[in-house]
Amino acid sequence: MEFSKVIHARHSTRSFSERPVTRELLEEILLEAGAAPSWINTQEWRVYVATGAVLEKIRKEYVERASYGIQGSSDFPVTRRTSWSPQAQANMSRLMQRAADLNVSKEWDESENALFHAPAAVYLTLPKDANKWAIMDMGGFEQTLLLSATNKGVDSITAYSMVKYPDVIRKYLNVPENYAVAIGIALGYASDSKINTFRSERMTLNQFAKFSE
């Protein structure tokens, strides 16, 4: 796919079908993500992939905890929406209003609790004592992974709900205690659910960029 088309084709899929993503395809996506830039080539990321029976065990525990109203406790501090800038809060409000207008809020919550019903989950981790600059590397790795997946016809979403119970992730994927479960990415193929017709708005160039000559 032409690169500009890949960029604009990528979006957050909020409900996946049961169609599996092959191990070969997952490996190709991760290898391409591994080509992302890294601060003085440190490459401190470590990646854990869950599919099949293991992912179903993780999903079951997530759904059970959500049903009991157990709050998430991610390794990275949770930030309330009111702690974000006015611009960020305005963007969030518009996003949630669009979901409300589509009448998919209930399905949205159910899908999030079930890890979006994805057939594959990728967890990106960093040492808990990593240099703060390492998060820049992880962002590059994540974005490269998402674009690689899109280019190969695989849908994706990155979400807090994927990492809100890190103890469950550690339990089934053997993530060491000294590594923070930073980012969770669901991969698969979009279902025909109405929730997948939802698209977020993007800021215009004039809203986020300023040129000086």
Residue type, 19: R
* Average pLDDT value for the chain: 95
Whether the CB-CB separation of 112 and 176 falls below 8 Å is answered with no
**Model confidence pLDDT, tens digit, residues 17-72:** 999 999 999 999 999 999 999 999 999 999 999 999 999 999 999 999 999 999 99
Give the total number of structural domains in the chain. 1
Q: Is residue 175 part of a domain?
A: yes
With cut-offs at 50, 70 and 90, classify the pLDDT of residue 96: confident
Chain centroid to Cα 184, Å, comes to 5
What number is the average pLDDT over the span 107-118?
A: 94
Give a yes or no: residue 93 inside a domain: no
pLDDT of residue 174: 97
Q: Report pTM.
A: 0.95
User: Higher-confidence residue: 213 or 198?
Assistant: 213
Q: Tell me whether residue 91 is in a domain.
A: no
Whether 88 maps to a domain, the answer reads no
Stretch 141-160: mean pLDDT: 98
User: Which pLDDT band, with edges at 50, 70 and 90, does 15 fall under?
Assistant: very high
Task: Provide the domain limits for residue 117.
Answer: 3-77+112-199
Cα–Cα distance for residue pair 95/99, rounded to 1 Å: 7
Closest CA to 59 of 113, 124, 134: 113
Q: Is the pLDDT of residue 199 over 90?
A: no
Is the residue at 86 inside a domain? no
62 found inside a domain = yes
SS3 176: coil
Is residue 101, in this structure, part of any structural domain at all?
no
How is the beta sheet containing 179-188 ordered, strand by strand? 46-51, 120-127, 179-188, 155-158
User: Residue 48 belongs to a domain with what CATH number?
Assistant: 3.40.109.10
Give the separation between CA 46 and CA 124, rounded to whole angstroms: 6
CA distance linking residue 108 with residue 170, whole number of Å: 26
> Could you tell me the pLDDT band of residue 98, with boundaries at 50, 70 and 90?
confident
- With a pLDDT cut of 90, the percent of the chain lying above it is 83
Question: Which pLDDT band, with edges at 50, 70 and 90, does 124 fall under?
Answer: very high
Say if 106 falls within a structural domain. Answer: no
Checking if the pLDDT of 80 tops 90, the result is no
The yes-or-no verdict on residue 129 having pLDDT over 90 is yes
Sign of the CA dihedral with 140 first, then 52, 188, and 106 last: negative
